[in-house]
């Protein structure tokens, strides 16, 4: 119930929903003076949220700076949050990735460099799965395919959200008698790191962050970036709004 309520609230607060409300209200009441104002506001918001320069500035302000591999000290375990595979397409001889594959490839790089000795993957199927496999299983398969020792891969395959990622990881560590008072490297997308870090802090797991999977890019002062509308920009704003709402809801219910 909590999940569906948060999803509904997110839908109401999404940029596209807000834009459509203003545009539709403006069209319906076009004969009224304030109806024209609503229409103008809707058009203005559409131009704002599809501007790639502005969306990139917002992402740059929100996402933490990336860390060089060299500055990361060695740890026993790196914790990888899932949400990077295409669970809508079922296959048993490969792993289909969505945006966010950096989470597992950069974790693998940390492992190859000796920065971590083991990789703990946390994540199940999410809600309403169409694939019988879990994300943790799929990513484990990928790591084994790269030549990583199966002994160094730990999986927690029940979590359905970030709060469960943290709590179920702690439960997994305790169940397998792995010291939970050590410091872990937390690996997830940069835009998602604040919420993830908050959840792991809440359950008492000490982590150092290693943000990956950036949506922002270096600032460009060219004509396309400054003036050409881009539908991807609306998608970036939507992702940010969802994350902000997620953090607010998590704070309200006590997950962070």
What number of helices (H) and strands (E) belong to the chain?
Answer: 10, 5
CA 195 to chain centre: 9
Cβ atoms of 118 and 77 closer than 8 Å: yes
pLDDT of residue 175: 97
pLDDT of residue 2: 57
DSSP β-bridge partners for residue 51: none
pLDDT of residue 250: 94
* Main-chain phi, psi angles of 208, to 5 degrees: -110, 135
pLDDT of residue 90: 80
pLDDT of residue 9: 67
Model pTM score:
0.90
pLDDT of residue 8: 67
Note the pLDDT tens digit of each residue in 203-230. Answer: 999 999 999 999 999 999 999 999 999 9
**pLDDT means per 10 residues in the chain (256 residues)?**
63 88 93 91 97 98 96 97 85 84 96 98 74 87 95 95 96 97 97 98 98 96 93 96 92 93
pLDDT of residue 39: 94
pLDDT of residue 196: 98
pLDDT of residue 33: 84
Rounded distance between C-alpha atoms, residue 252 and residue 161, angstroms = 16
pLDDT of residue 95: 83
């Amino acid at each position: 119930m909590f999940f569906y309520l948060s999803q509904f609230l997110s839908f109401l607060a999404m940029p596209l929903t807000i834009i459509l409300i203003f545009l539709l209200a403006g069209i319906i009441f076009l004969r009224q003076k304030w109806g024209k104002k609503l229409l103008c506001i809707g058009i203005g918001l559409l131009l704002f949220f599809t501007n790639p320069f502005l969306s990139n500035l917002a992402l740059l302000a929100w996402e933490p700076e990336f860390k060089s591999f060299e500055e990361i000290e060695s740890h026993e375990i790196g914790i990888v949050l899932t949400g990077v595979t295409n669970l809508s397409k079922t296959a048993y001889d490969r792993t289909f990735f969505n945006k966010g594959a950096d989470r597992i490839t950069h974790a693998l790089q940390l492992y190859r460099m000796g920065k971590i000795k083991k990789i703990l993957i946390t994540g199940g199927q999410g809600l309403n799965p169409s694939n019988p496999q879990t994300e943790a299983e799929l990513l484990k398969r990928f790591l084994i395919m790269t030549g990583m020792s199966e002994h160094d891969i730990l999986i927690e395959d029940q979590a359905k959200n970030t709060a469960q990622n943290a709590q179920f990881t702690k439960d997994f560590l305790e169940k397998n008698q792995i010291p939970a008072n050590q410091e872990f490297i937390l690996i997830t997308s940069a835009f998602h790191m604040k919420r993830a870090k908050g959840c792991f802090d809440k359950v008492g797991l000490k982590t150092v962050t290693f943000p990956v999977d950036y949506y922002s890019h270096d600032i460009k002062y060219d004509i396309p970036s400054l003036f050409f509308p881009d539908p991807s920009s609306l998608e970036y704003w939507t992702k940010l709004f969802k994350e902000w709402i997620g953090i607010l809801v998590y704070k309200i219910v006590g997950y962070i």
